[in-house]
Structure 1
Amino acid sequence: MVNSMTGFGRSTVSNQKLTVHIEMKSVNHRFFESSIKSPRSLVSFEDKIKKLISQYIHRGRLEVYITVEGEAPVSQSFVVNWSLLDQYYQSLLQLNERFNLKNEIHLEQMLKLDEAFETIETPDVDQEVEQLVLTGVKQAVERLVNMRATEGLQLYQAMRELLENLMEEIKSIEQLVPEATKHYYEKIKRRVKELVSGHVEEDRLLTEVALFADKVDITEEVTRLKSHINQFTQTLTVNDPIGRKLDFIIQEMNREANTIGSKINHYGISEKVLEIKSLIEKLKEQVQNIE
């Protein structure tokens, strides 16, 4: 099954206290990468979010945005900076001594040092909030996956058409091979005649043609190219992520096409090879979008 690597998903979930909005988008990437931007209060279970997403997505760069509306429960703690208070107290004692003052140091004076006292609020993210966010993430990633599947179907149809065109071009090459062989035969015959002043032994000529034909024989390359196309077609029906495998098959197809082009020097076949390479390049562009 073909899945695109580009997609978008959005969800909104809420309870009596909070409303959570989740958006995620994915783009092409050789491997799987994810980036989550969320409030600090949700950082503690980002790993759970990533683990959930990885059950659905195996390739591509994914960006997740989570925003929260409402007041999340918080825990408060009162912190005293005793080191700062000690320094402040010692400074007051030194002032009295330095200027021969008789002022007593009272608690009210100490409390005026605002920097020494701090109330810290810690988000109290309970299991209910965690489950709410994970539910939203699941909804968003499922919608994203559905979009990737829809686009994947379009990619599948486009690639099947390209593969059919490839097969047609290969069949055309196979039909031109006898003509190319005859062309080589006549060419060698003329050159041999020139070397032996018009007289040539037919057996010798046939031997030379056979030797040369063996060097330019493209039967194996054509067979392998057709095999790669069939393998490519079969891979499109596999349910697992197939992008990397298709990319490898594309490389092998290119290799066979280049070998055919370098082996045989015939205008018609060369023209077909160029068309085949163009079709393979279009296939490669499509494969770059596949998970």
Structure 2
Amino acid sequence: MIQSMTGFGKSLLQLPSKKITIEIKSLNSKSLDLNARIPGQYREKELLLRNIIAKSLVRGKVDFSLYVEVTGEETTSSINPIVVKKYMEQLRQIANIDDDELLKMAIRMPDTMKSEREEIEETEFIEIEKTLQQALTEINSFRTDEGNALEKDLMFRVSNIAQLLQDIIAMDPDRIEGVRERLRKGVADLQEKVDENRFEQELVYYIEKFDITEEKVRLENHLSYFLETINSPDSNGRKLGFISQEMGREINTIGSKSNYAPMQQLVVQMKDELEKIKEQLLNVL
């Protein structure tokens, strides 16, 4: 079973005086790249929240957001009247504007609002942890669903490569016979008498250079190992990426050794399928 690195999760927590919203979204990345947006009063718990997310999501470019909406009468922010008055006095010296307009301008200036630091109660943070776990469960479910779609496509591509390999195996005897006939025709065109034993020895040596038996066996093994890894309990995109690289080496070697146009056409199709596999693997956890 594989998982995608793409996902989204959201969970809400309603407290007596505030509503807390947690959102997590992720995209593909080589490692865990976690960006957190948290209000100042929760910064002391940021490291713990990061560790919880990292343990659950493992890899990906992750955006974690914690939003707080005050729903009760209490608020931790208040107007700083001394600063506002000071701004109004300064503005009055440079502009002939009535006090209502001065107040509108002054209130938008820096430091006109002051916030009292609010200590997080332990019971509140326990509820936040539960809410975070709910969001993580949702994003992991999303990742699993995306992974199922990826798995179907990857297995389809691997099946195509396996079929193309069987087509290559089926035409290999014709290829070898074609090489043999071309060599015989070349010698006959020289109109020279040759030693048949020597010719057969050279012919065997030449044909062995184009033998792809080892590559066929190794590619079949890589295809089987790829499917075995997909069906394992853990999602391991890196491992699948390594296997796909090995598949590419064998396909390239078959192409360079084939020396036969119909076979080279099949190799091109195999390379096309493999490129699609590699593109999909970039998003596998």
- Residue-by-residue CA offset, 1:97-120 (whole Å, 9 max, x unaligned): xxxxxxxxxxxxxxxxxxxxxx87
Q: Name the residue aligned to 1:170.
A: 165
Q: Following superposition of structure 1 onto structure 2, how do residues 47-58 of structure 1 map, counting pairs within 5 Å?
A: 47-58=47-58
1:139 to 129, 134, 137: 134
The percentage of aligned residue pairs carrying the same residue is 30
Mapped to 1, the partners of 2:137 and 2:224 lie a distance apart of: 32
Conservation of the 8 A alpha-carbon contact between 1:18 and 1:69 = yes
- The answer to whether 1:265 aligns with 2:264 is no
Tell me the CA shift for residue 241 of structure 1: 3.3
Gaps of 5+ in 2: 77-113
SS at match of 1:124: coil
* Larger Cα-atom Rg: 1
Q: Name the residue aligned to 2:223.
A: 229
Q: Name the residue aligned to 1:68.
A: 68
Mapped to 2, the partners of 1:265 and 1:244 lie a distance apart of: 34
Mapped to 2, the partners of 1:27 and 1:198 lie a distance apart of: 68
Q: TM-score, normalised by structure 1?
A: 0.81
Conservation of the 8 A alpha-carbon contact between 1:13 and 1:133 = yes
Gaps of 5+ in 1: 75-118
RMSD: 2.0
Paired positions, count: 249
Q: Following superposition of structure 1 onto structure 2, how do residues 2-81 of structure 1 map, counting pairs within 5 Å?
A: 2-70=2-70
Q: Which amino acid in the other structure matches residue 136 of structure 2?
A: V
- The answer to whether 1:207 aligns with 2:201 is yes
Q: Which amino acid in the other structure matches residue 17 of structure 2?
A: K
Mapped to 2, the partners of 1:171 and 1:15 lie a distance apart of: 63
Q: Name the residue aligned to 1:275.
A: 269
Mapped to 2, the partners of 1:171 and 1:199 lie a distance apart of: 40
1:130 to 125, 128, 131: 125
Q: TM-score, normalised by structure 2?
A: 0.83
- The answer to whether 1:246 aligns with 2:240 is yes
Tell me the CA shift for residue 235 of structure 1: 0.5
SS at match of 1:68: strand
- Residue-by-residue CA offset, 1:77-97 (whole Å, 9 max, x unaligned): xxxxxxxxxxxxxxxxxxxxx
Conservation of the 8 A alpha-carbon contact between 1:39 and 1:68 = yes
- Residue-by-residue CA offset, 1:43-62 (whole Å, 9 max, x unaligned): 11011111111222111110
Mapped to 1, the partners of 2:200 and 2:166 lie a distance apart of: 27
Mapped to 1, the partners of 2:170 and 2:199 lie a distance apart of: 24
Mapped to 1, the partners of 2:115 and 2:139 lie a distance apart of: 38
Tell me the CA shift for residue 166 of structure 1: 0.7
- The answer to whether 1:179 aligns with 2:174 is yes
SS at match of 1:23: strand
SS at match of 1:12: strand
Tell me the CA shift for residue 289 of structure 1: 1.0
Conservation of the 8 A alpha-carbon contact between 1:58 and 1:241 = no
